[in-house]
Amino acid sequence: MRILLIGAAGMIGRKLAVRLAADGAVGGVAITALDLVDVVPPPVPAGLPGRVTVRAADLSAPGTADQLAAARPDLVFHLAAIVSGEAEVDLAKGYRVNLDGTRALLDALMATGTCPRVIFASSLAVFGPPFPARIPDDFAPQPATSYGAQKLMAEILVSDLSRRGLIDGISLRLPTICVRPGAPNRAASGFFSGILREPLAGLPADLPVPETTRHYFASPRAAVGFFLHAATLDTGALGQARALTMPGLSATVGDQIDALRRIAGPSAVALIRRTDDPLVARIVAGWAADFDAARARALGFTVEADMDAILRVHVEDELGGRIVAPASAP
């Protein structure tokens, strides 16, 4: 099996590449080649000696998609995107990368005539208000941001080409991934990770929204599991509805802070600084707080049961099981 992973330098992409290289197979089928692509050179994971290639390329640049598809991948993970806050600020860049780049990739893949499995990283930003308390699977998408609109358009492309038998696609509407390791990015949702990640490392963090703000989460470990499960899923069970809302944990910012207090103590909580960011607050207010995700759960997708479990994943996977917290806040 030849795998193409686009967005391999991103957080989920890196973790997915590591898992693929460690497993050496997907669904019992050996990985013969793992092609890793991003706008910067992705790291090379351990494992699969001689079978991993790394390339720095812009998917939206002319010719790039054709070059990637020429290798005739059997399985494609498409994770490359401009994140929500940046897509809202820079309209042209958001459409060029999130929509035009995706269409170029799909056009190139269907031209091969091989009907590869394509797993597209979509977003719950495809939905917009007004919301019921819990969003069912049949709730109509109506994006409130340009990012959400771009993701929805790409979902429709994936579904239409799958209906025609040109690709075998699945779009995964991901919860906000928390706790994201590494440096903060420009996503409007970034503070949801920051208020946990930084205090766990003994650093201050800004909170731009009220503690009553409710959101929908999954850990990076769960996100990798979503993509691997989708890679082997019997898509016949999906019919023409090729976009799936992934299961997640609905929790408030206050719930996050309570979990941080239980895991790391009050000194970590004291590092959270209340601030105000009108743009972030406006974007987050346009997101739903809870989803039923009944279809995905019935198909075997799983997620953490509580915020404590999500924090423990971060401590285990990123901090070596150890928490760095000051004796008191600065």
DSSP characters for 43-91?
A: PPPSSSTT-EEEEE--TTSTTHHHHHHTT--SEEEE-----HHHHHH-H
Nearest to 222 by CA among 258, 246, 242: 246
216 is catalytic: no
* Annotated catalytic residue within 147, 191, 192, 226: 147
Q: Which residues lie across from 4 on neighbouring strands?
A: 35, 76
**C-alpha span between 323 and 315 (Å, rounded):** 7
Please, are residues 146 and 82 in contact by the beta-carbon 8 Å criterion? no
Give the DSSP letter string of 221-240. Answer: HHHHHHHHHHHH--GGGTTT
- What gap in Å lies between CA 5 and CA 279, rounded to an integer? 32
Residues acting as catalytic residues: 147
